[in-house]
Every structure is written in structure tokens, then in C-alpha cells.
Amino acid sequence: MIKNLHSGPRILMGPGPSNVSSQVLKEMAQPLIGHMDPQFIEMMDEVKDMVRHVFLTNNPLTFVIPGTGSAGMECAFVNLIEPGDQVLVCVNGAFGNRMCEIALRCDAKLKRLDVPWGQPVAPTQVANALQNFTPKIVAIVHAETSTGVLQPLEEISRIVHKAGALFLVDAVTSLGGCELKIDEWGIDICYSATQKCLSAPPGLSPISFSPAAESAINTRKSRIQSWYLDVSLIQKYWDGKKRAYHHTAPISMIYAIHRALKIVLEEGLETRINRHHNNYLSLKTGLEAMGFEYIIAHPYRLPVLNTIKIPDGLDDDKTRMRLLNEYNIEIGGGLGDFAGKIWRIGIMGESCSPDYIKALLSALKKILSQG
């Protein structure tokens, strides 16, 4: 006998995935059409447009690639880096580390700017790292989901461009929940994912390249080592007029992101970001009233992912399992340096609601009172 594993709905308040609205789920249950069907091509064109809107960019080279956020990260690096290219990666958490892993696999000459986990990267640190090092790319994570740090980008962007480098930003957790302005902030390469503040299932990565990044790709001397993630090939697939077969788009996921982006734009980016901020304030008030302490100080605190110390004497795994089994609520444990020390409470997209916050706070209260 194969067991049916669906246990009933969960409230997803971890580092992702977030809850998916019933509208998006319904969209995914629509019958398949072919990926070369004109109707589907129209849908892809709309997805491209909507991705530009949420990224606040006019970059022509903008689309979604199959795969999760890490595929977006890999796509960003493999297209820009040729063997021997110098790259500076700012590391203050798990995802900065992952960027380094990928850059090394591209045979980059990597310089790491390591900052203690939980701290933002300061513009002066970037300026110092660029004193005797002139990289092709400087990479940084906007919202470090492993620590809960929201990284200011504008000043660093200016420093990076002054040094003649391209600015690569991971916006996996920030897109759709925090302010992010690709063009205004001078971001050259930016990728995200569907399952965090966009509230679609995991499986696609929106990505965008500035004209400067595009020309760096076009003037490469060596071939891009990944065929699947080669954006010059993917671009032809996303070109509504010339459309050349590359891969088969994950049709149902494109349905999902089409609807999810429509929901984001109908709510309005600014309204949506304010909603995340207001819900963060009420979560914070509730957590602090119960004695929980945040590990990240204002103004670097990421509102969509709240990182708090686990109180002494409270068992990390047992408490999170009780939340899951007795209350159907998922929160995240710590990663890397923070494993066993912190919890990560996400309020992303659909999961960012006063009802869910009330449910979590009251569940935690009951569990704490039972010791």
C-alpha cells in the first residue's frame, strides 16, 4: 500500500516555500497546452512584462528560467564568468557562501569579502576590497535568508560601478516583499525565485540582465559551459516572434507564476511591501511581549524573515515539531553558524497575514506555558 501523504494544509512561516493562494493552485490545475501554442507564447510574453514590472527594470534580457533560486544564481554566474575572471563575493551568510561555490566552479579568480554572519556588508568594506582588485563582477545577497539581514545596496552599487565592475544581486527573498529597484539602483544581474515573497510553488527563477551585462555576455571569448542555462539560447526561446525551441517550458509552473505576478501587480508593489512591513511590526510586538529577542538590529532587519534567539532551556527541534504536528505551523531552524541558536520566521507573500501571525503567537504562547 502506498500511503497518501497529504496531512492537511500547513501554515508556512519558514524561510520558504511560502503559502500559495488557491487562485494560483487552480491555475496549475488547468489543462496543459503545448509550449509552442500561440496562446502559451502570449502568456510567456505577459510573464516577461510582469517580471520587468516587479523588478522595476526595462532590461530587454529578462525572463524566467526553469529551476529554483539556485538555478538563477548559477545562471547569473555561468553566463558572466569566463575562466580566470576576477570576482568579488560579499559573504555574510549561507547564500553568499553558495555564490562562492558557484564562482569557483566557473574557474573564477575569487576574492571573498567575509563579514560576520548577522552583519550587513558596509560600503567602506567593499571599497577597501576593491583597492587592489579589479573584478568583472561584485556579487552580494540583498536579503540573507540564513541570517535575516536586509542589505542596503545603493551606495555599494555606486562603488562597484566606479571600480568598473558589474553588480550582481541575489533577490530571492526580497522580490515582492521588500523594496527592490533594479534600474534605479544600478543592478546589472538580478535573480529571484517563485516560492518566497511571490508565493508560487518552487520551480522557476525570474532573472534580468542590464544592457552592460548583456554586452559582457556577448563579448565572451569562451563558450558558456552550461548549455541549459545559456541565456543567449534561452532568450531566443522567450522571443515571442522568432521563438526557437530550447527546452520545454514547465507549462503548469508558467501558469502559476503568471497568476502569482498578476496578484502582486494587482495588489501593487508599494501596498504589498507596506503590508509586509505592517505585519512584521505586529509579529515583532507579539514576539517581544513574550520575551523573544531579535538577533538583527534595526535598520538591517529583514521584515519578511524574522530571526530570533531560541530561549535558554527550550528544545529547538521538539518545539518546532510541536508547532508542526499540533498546530500545522512550520517555522525554520537556524543554518550554518546559527543552527540550534535561532529560529527563522517567514512572513512572505500569502503567508504574510494577521491571522497566521495570531495563530503562531498563540501556539507559541501555549507551548511556552507548558514548559
**Cβ 143 to ligand PLP shortest distance, Å:** 6
CA dist., res. 350 & res. 344, Å (int): 17
C-alpha torsion 116→117→120→124, nearest 10:
20
Of 95 and 117, CB closest to ligand PLP: 95
Options 70, 86, 252, 282; binder of ligand PLP; rule CB under 6 A: 70
Q: Which of residues 305-364 bind ligand PLP (CB under 6 A)?
A: none
Of 141 and 234, CB closest to ligand PLP: 141
Going by the DSSP 8-state scheme, the letter that residue 158 receives in this structure is: H
Of 135 and 201, CB closest to ligand PLP: 201
| Inter-axis angle of helices 69-80 and 94-105, nearest 10 | 40
Amino acid identity of residue 74, one-letter, is E
Please choose, out of 140-148, 155-163, 229-237, 281-289, the segment that lies near ligand PLP by the rule CB under 6 A: 140-148
Assigned C-alpha cell, 256: 502559476
Of 330 and 363, CB closest to ligand PLP: 330
CA pseudo-torsion sign 342, 365, 288, 328: positive
Query: x/- string (CB under 6 A) for ligand PLP, residues 188-227?
Result: -----x--------x-------------------------
Please choose, out of 165-173, 248-256, 259-267, 337-345, the segment that lies near ligand PLP by the rule CB under 6 A: 165-173
Q: Give the number of other Cβ atoms within 10 Å of residue 245's Cβ.
A: 9
Q: Is 168 in the site for ligand PLP (CB under 6 A)?
A: no
Residue found under cell 573584478: 135
CB 190 within 8 A of CB 55: yes
Q: Is 172 in the site for ligand PLP (CB under 6 A)?
A: yes
CA dist., res. 225 & res. 141, Å (int): 24
Please choose, out of 39-47, 57-65, 169-177, 324-332, the segment that lies near ligand PLP by the rule CB under 6 A: 169-177
CA pseudo-torsion sign 12, 15, 21, 22: negative
Interface residues with ligand PLP (CB under 6 A)? 16, 68-70, 73, 95, 141, 143, 145, 170, 172-173, 193, 202
